[in-house]
Amino acid sequence: MRRRLRARCCANATGVLRPRDAPPCRRAYGCQVVLPCQHSSSAFSCSLPARSPSWTSSALTPDQADLVATIAEHILPETDTPGARAVGVHRFIDGLVADGYAPEAREQFVAGLAAVDERARRAHGRVFLQCAATEQVALLDALDREAEPFFRDLKELTLVGYYTSEVGATRELRHAPVPGRFEGCVPLPQIGRAWAV
């Protein structure tokens, strides 16, 4: 069954639904708190594969969605657990942009993607997706060092999308639905990974 996050999930103190008042990343966090724990994405079900042919982007063109997926994969690459692309972080971000962003914020997000492509053109003579992986990483490292606002927001959305997914919460992090006892000082090698809550 598909569930879709609606922008109405965020309310202000008076109960008036105003999701567009908060910055995009804060809307993501606010909405995540009220979602059912088994499903945290706005655009996909945990049972749908990330590359399902039945999925079409809502806010982004296919090229823009692929650009988001590629950048997200560089942020959280595949290791012993699936990476951001395999989890479908690009689908999460597309759904959030479609359902939770005001038209102006949506335009700014798309303009940020265009700016990444423009920067790749200036540096390497081709768009980001046509650059070699090493060139892509170098460009993203430069954006990160410069604390470029769009890239920082995209990183934050990538982390939210990944670590609230089933894979991120149960395979990358450890998940204890009902924690046992509190142990304030446990050596990390004994745990193996950080814990999801």
- Written as tens digits, the pLDDT of the chain (197 aa) is 222 222 323 333 333 333 344 444 444 444 443 333 333 334 443 334 455 567 888 899 999 999 999 999 999 999 999 999 999 999 999 999 999 999 999 999 999 999 999 999 999 999 999 999 999 999 999 999 999 999 999 999 999 999 989 888 888 887 666 666 666 677 778 777 766 66
Q: What is the pLDDT of residue 51?
A: 52
What's the pTM?
Answer: 0.67
Neighbours of 27 (CB within 10 A): 22
Task: Give the burial class of 121: count Cβ atoms within 10 A of its Cβ; 0-12 exposed, 13-18 middle, 19 or more buried.
Answer: middle
**Ramachandran angles phi, psi of 118, nearest 5°:** -65, -40
Task: Give the burial class of 125: count Cβ atoms within 10 A of its Cβ; 0-12 exposed, 13-18 middle, 19 or more buried.
Answer: exposed
Residue linked to tokens 């749908």: 48
Rg (CA), the chain: 18
